[in-house]
Amino acid sequence: MRFPEGASAEALALTLAIADSETDVGTKVTLDADAGKRNPSISFHPVPHTLPIDGAPILVTATATSEEDGVVHAEAQLPLSLRREDGSAPNAELAHGTTNEAGEVTFSIAKNALGTPGPLRIMVVHEGGPESAPAKTEIQATRVATVQLEVGFPTEPVSSEDGFFLSVRALAAGHPVETGSVEVAVGETVVGAGRLAPGGNGQVPVAFARNASGTATLQVRYISTEPWLRPAPASVATVATKGPSPFRRLGPLLGTVLLAFAAFALRRRTERKPPQKKSEESSPYEAQVTLPLPTPQEVGELVGRVVDRHDGTPISGAVLTLVGRDFSGGILAESLAEADGTFRFSAKHTAGAATLTVQAPFHRESQISVGPASGAIRVTLLSRRRGVLDDLVTWARNRNESANRREPTPAEIALKGTNSAISAWASAVEAAGFSEAPLDAEREAAVGALRPAAEPPRESAVVPVDAASKRAP
């Protein structure tokens, strides 16, 4: 921009206007200038889009130049101020300095001067002087920090099968981190997960199978939900584990006995009731513990609790996905169940009809139709162990023709089955249902693949007749 000939050395108001167009609305900006003063141009070099706030002091460099007769000159000895602007600190000064002969100045910012991680606007300002007009440049930047976990690893042996809670606290640049979650793994297997609470604290439920006393190496890592929070390397420690109690070791045997008894009782109860009242019977997997449902905090909010269908215990870390039932069928929102199994979806995510899909590593998936008036719901998931056993018992009950004979156990089906496919399936069900190893989706699918595709032909009750015996004497 050049001033016209005859312009006096006094303050001018310059207007930059952009006219309306078919696609854009016009705008106008007014710039203060002084024909008798230099008009500096300030820029960042390089542009600091990312500001790490948990390491060494941050260095930011700015350059000031001016143009005269088409030639660009470095602005030396120009006082500049570096400032930040966000919700907590409008126009707060971070540092100040004076440009050198090359028109450059480097600001050093203390790591605690930028506040908490997140977006902010930083600017370099020249207030003006006797020979130079005011100038300013600004950019949008992001303060990033690494999340460090303080983990209270147990010092005494823990029961890995019964489960235990791991205390954690998350910090970034000295500030508590209240978003995101913590995941615990043994090797490549995730054995626990939980969200962080106010103050950056969390109680992560951990459970995994161990056949005997020994040790387990736990890897605890932070899972970020914000781009400005970066996970530190996992915290690793070896904890002592204790094997199951003697009563626990009787689990497979007791499970077989109880399964046979439950199937027999279920059959007897079914025989005594008329067919039209069968739907009124309670499920054999009805929860024994009923935990209260959370209360919605806003109109239209969808809240609930995810529990085990058999014993009613909460399922922590279950993945909940809301999928719209309109023509798009897109994902509306996702969430993780808290340590107590509770979850919440905002009213903005449940404005219309949707399908809630709930998944957990060792439980079968469940889908529920929800809508604006769903309120508080209880989601019950059937464990994969009980699912495969239930499939076999139902199959055996449907094949049992004797009203007085009890339902067979998986082991009995495997030993007495006249069909090799049925025997193989029953053996796989027994191994999966009563093993101490976790039953995940892959193993459940492998067991299900062994189920015979169709009912095998029943053995004939007619004794075959030798062709020779049919001849006349």
CA 59 to CA 48: how far, in whole Å?
A: 9
Q: Which two tokens stand for residue 16?
A: 């930059």
CA 336 to CA 289: how far, in whole Å?
A: 22
Residue type, 307: V
Per-10-residue mean pLDDT, the chain, length 473: 61 82 82 74 89 86 88 91 78 89 92 82 89 88 90 89 86 89 86 87 82 81 86 92 59 46 45 42 50 82 89 86 74 85 86 86 89 84 86 74 50 60 78 72 83 55 42 42
Question: Secondary structure of 312-346 in the HEC alphabet?
Answer: CCECCCCEEEEEECCCCCCEEEEEECCCCCEEEEC
Q: Give the number of residues written for the chain.
A: 473
Burial tier of 70 (Cβ tally within 10 Å: 0-12, 13-18, 19+): exposed
So what's the pLDDT on residue 455? Answer: 52
So what's the pLDDT on residue 453? Answer: 67
So what's the pLDDT on residue 461? Answer: 39
So what's the pLDDT on residue 280? Answer: 38
So what's the pLDDT on residue 381? Answer: 92
CA 333 to CA 471: how far, in whole Å?
A: 79
310 DSSP 8-state letter: T
Q: What percent of the chain has pLDDT over 70?
A: 74
Q: Quick one: which of 322, 320, 314 has its CA closest to 292?
A: 314
So what's the pLDDT on residue 81? Answer: 93
So what's the pLDDT on residue 282? Answer: 41
- Enumerate domains of the chain plus CATH numbers: 37-143 (2.60.40.10), 153-246 (2.60.40.10), 250-285+384-457 (no CATH), 302-381 (2.60.40.10)
